[in-house]
Amino acid sequence: MDLSQIFSAYQLGGISLENRFVMAPMTRSRATPLGNVPNELMATYYVQRAGAGLIITEATQISLQGQGYAHTPGIYTLEQILGWKLITKAVHDAGGKIFLQLWHVGRVSSSKVNGLQPVAPSAILAKETSVYIFDGAPNCDATFVPVEEPREMTLEEIEQTTQDYVQASKNAIEAGFDGVEIHGANGYLIDQFLRSNSNQRTDEYGGTRENRIQFLLKVAQAIAAAIGKEKTGVRLSPFIKFKDMDDPEILETIMLASEKLNHLDIAYLHLSEADWEDAPEIPLDFRVKLRATFKNTIIATGNKTPEQGEELLVQDLADLIGFGRKFISNPNYPERVKNNLELAEIKDTHTLFGGGGARGYTDY
């Protein structure tokens, strides 16, 4: 199949991308444990993958409260900012572009991770949901522990968390990032506000769909004002229900949020699409309606082949195509696709989340 679209250049706001391949956010838990600081090993990992038109980093907590898993990087201390500067400089020197994904896990956490009780829109436990720590298990494996019941956020805490997002976005720009992506997907804090089953508040942030999208809009507007709308993206996951997030109203809620985000004129919407074999496909009519609703860039990320991505581009249903695990085992993935080279497979799933430093991380 002709892949001319996916290998064509693209203008993302004021940023020129060499191709339409996006390296999608993937948690790898290689930050220096003391302080959750990005490091030189992570810089090697990202610069190896700078052939992507755009890199979106692993999810990065905006505060200690926002952390849900062990050894994930932050963007709220000076040491973390300096650590990320190593990475952005390396990627830019290699000709790449890189956005930082801003993360608050909300109720998907445990005091065993950060010493704090989780917070959420409502005090509702996420059933059958776990997070991981490292406690000396064999083979450097992560040990999974159940999440704990959260406490409901006060209005003051909502304001503070909004400011944490804003400060994190400013820190990201100081660290040299080309922009930020607000993680509003996959069952984490902003997604918890969007869904009626996890948000049962009775104030201005809960109840109706219009109210449930207010926290997302508040954060997006504040970040856009702080660093520029052209440097602000949002990730959403309309068809993903894991982490106890099955909400019958979510499609209408996300479409309403997309309409409002369009008015904010942010850089892009990023669809997090399920990547397991029997996962639900995003229906064509949803993609068509989203394209009509949101005028700027749309990124589609899931278990797609380059050919499937090309088809979405040709049909004008997406502008950029995200790939996740293919970039783990194929650092030069776009080059391999372009030259029809054999693709490497992931060697050892033990190394996906932490588990051995460079092994399974920078040695492909």
Q: Give the number of other CB atoms < 10 A from CB of residue 122.
A: 19
Q: Which helix (H) or strand (E) holds 54?
A: strand 54-61
Query: Which one, of 103, 112, 116, 117, lies nearest residue 150 by Cα?
Result: 117
Quote the CA–CA distance of 251 and 254 in Å, as a whole number.
Answer: 5
Give, in order, the Cα–Cα distances in Å from 354 to each of 72, 112, 143, 359. 9, 17, 11, 9
CA distance 4 to 100: 28
Distance of CA 320 to the CA centre of its chain: 15
Q: Going by DSSP bridges, is the β-strand pair 21-23/15-17 parallel, antiparallel, or unpaired?
A: unpaired
- Give me the residues paired with residue 323 across strands: 23
Catalytic: 188?
A: yes
Residue 55 is inside which H or E element, if any?
strand 54-61
Return the bridge partners of 61, or none. Answer: 74, 103
Q: Which of 69, 165, 188, 333 is catalytic?
A: 188
Rg (CA), the chain: 19
- DSSP category for residue 49: T
CB distance 262 to 293 below 8 Å: yes
Give backbone dihedrals phi and psi of 281, rounded to 5 degrees, phi first: -80, 145
Element counts in the chain: helices (H) and strands (E): 12, 14
State the Cα–Cα distance between residues 239 and 173, nearest whole angstrom: 31
Q: Hunting for tokens 């952005």 — which residue is that?
A: 88
Q: Mind telling me the catalytic residues?
A: 188
